[in-house]
Amino acid sequence: MPDELFKALADANRRRILDELSERDGQTLFELCARLLSRHDVVLSRQAVSQHLAVLEAADLVRTRREGRYKFHHLNTEPLEHIVTRWLKPDAPEHNP
């Protein structure tokens, strides 16, 4: 799982998609494409954004929900929380040089 997570986070366009979902969760592919263009001046085809979303889903950073013919994408922060706690353990003793 960590390898997929770091791979997903390595791409700037995928991080922009996560930013957009963080700001407004539950967007369709069309909405994400429009927001990437209007807010970040990023021109990507729907297929390219769809491929980025597939990588984010494989890393469990994005989860989807279908309603009729629409597919909504939701941010899942649990994998990010795991990374943070991996190195920043709240119960670790303080280091006093």
What is the CATH code for 2-87?
A: 1.10.10.10
Q: What is the pLDDT of residues 9-53, one digit of tens each?
A: 999 999 999 999 999 999 999 999 999 999 999 999 999 999 999
pLDDT of residue 45: 96
pTM: 0.85
DSSP string covering the chain: -HHHHHHHHT-HHHHHHHHHHHHS-SB-HHHHHHHHHHHH-----HHHHHHHHHHHHHTTSEEEEEETTEEEEEE--HHHHHHHHHH--TTSPPP--
pLDDT of residue 65: 97
